[in-house]
Amino acid sequence: MTNASPHGRPFIKMHGLGNDFIVFDAREIPLALTDDVVCALADRQTGIGCDQLIVLHPDKKPDAGGPADLFMEIRNADGSTVAACGNATRCVARLILEETGRDRALIRTRAGLLAADRDAFGIRVDMGRPGFHWQDLPLSHEMDTLMLDLHEGGLSQPTALSMGNPHLLFFLEGGLDVDVRAIGSTLEHHPWFPEAVNVSFVRVLAPDHLSVATWERGAGLTRACGTAACASLVGAHRRGYAGRAAQIDMSGGALHILWDDADHVLMSGDAEIAFHGRVALPLGHGA
């Protein structure tokens, strides 16, 4: 890669429960990354390595509620642009809260305006309302999202819903062993999901305690997925397996999710800084 600046472009490496992010601040110096450059940076052997790459832009679309602190661009490791990422939203909220000294952050995403603050578990983000209509995900045609007539790898009848991004949830019986990689990668691009889908496997340990493994669209198997944790609680409640609040265990740690009476999903958990660095970007990419 060519370096337009002798020192490269600064970035912060962050993670939420091991779901890791390269965060670039483009609020003062613009940054536009092609899919190829995102892939190169995300590569764990030849780049920095990440599940998602985040670019912070000025908020150019203030609505009636006033301007957000920033607009958060979210890219999967394969370069695709997505609307929502729960773990990265907590990380960005932490940066804003530390930078401003305020107790509330407002982050604009393609999925809407998200408010964040601190709570006993770390950073809490209001992830907004879930979507249950087939067009919310979207699906290829009209169907009942509560129980899809879909069968794969011995599993069947998953629930589908949107948390600003599409999720497919299989509820597992007992200790059934599943091949998350095989089933997840097969269903990620199933023709019923024209924009692909995040695939999760949910075990109900108790009505307020779930365990979730996720194959993420555009990133593969990750240690944690914030929107999948939100979707799992909502889906489990709709299927009658859980209450409206639960601890969600994932291989990287736990999140605490509440689906409140106003139909908003609140997600709480850690947001960590791993290290600061600089990277050479190709000419014309804002280095």
Ligand X SMILES: N[C@@H](CCC[C@H](N)C(=O)O)C(=O)O
> Residues at the annotated binding site?
19, 52, 76, 86-87, 165, 198, 216-217, 226-227
Q: Which of 15, 22, 41, 87 binds ligand X (CB under 6 A)?
A: 87
* Active site annotation includes 85: yes
Q: Which stretch binds ligand X (CB under 6 A): 31-39, 85-93, 107-115, 142-150?
A: 85-93
Neighbouring CB atoms inside 10 A of 178's CB total 17
Q: How far apart are CA 41 and CA 156, in angstroms?
A: 37
Choose one: 62-70, 84-92, 95-103, 231-239; the region binding ligand X (CB under 6 A).
Answer: 84-92
Toward ligand X, which CB reaches closer, 68 or 267?
Answer: 267
Rank residues 47 and 287 by Cβ distance to ligand X and give the closer one: 47
CA 97, 102, 106 angle in degrees (round to 5)?
65
Closest separation in Å from C-beta 76 to ligand X: 5
Question: 108 to 137, contacts with ligand X by CB under 6 A?
Answer: none
Residues 214-253 that bind ligand X (CB under 6 A): 216-219, 222, 225-227
Amino acid at 187: L
- Residue 158 in the binding site for ligand X (CB under 6 A): no
Phi, psi of 101 (to 5 degrees): 75, 5
Dihedrals phi, psi of 79, to nearest 5 degrees: 95, -15
Among residues 31, 42, 55, 82, the one that binds ligand X under rule CB under 6 A: 82
Q: Where are the beta strands (DSSP E) in the chain?
A: 9-16, 19-25, 52-57, 70-76, 81-82, 105-109, 112-119, 122-126, 151-152, 155-156, 159-162, 166-172, 198-206, 209-216, 220-221, 245-250, 253-259, 265-269, 272-279
Tokens of 47: 């780049």
Is 114 or 225 the residue whose CB approaches ligand X more closely?
225
Among 11, 19, 108, 203, binds ligand X (CB under 6 A): 19
Checking 41-46 for CB contacts under 8 A at 24+ apart, the result is 41/279, 42/77, 42/78
Segment interacting with ligand X, rule: CB under 6 A, options 100-108, 130-138, 152-160, 210-218: 210-218
Which of residues 13, 76, 124, 183 is near ligand X by CB under 6 A?
76
91 noted as active-site residue: no
* Candidates 39, 50, 91, 225; catalytic one: 225
How many angstroms separate the CA atoms of 260 and 126, rounded?
A: 10
Cα angle value 267/137/260 (rounded, 5°)? 30
Which residues of this protein are in contact with ligand X, per CB under 6 A? 19, 51-52, 76, 82, 85-87, 165, 198, 216-219, 222, 225-227
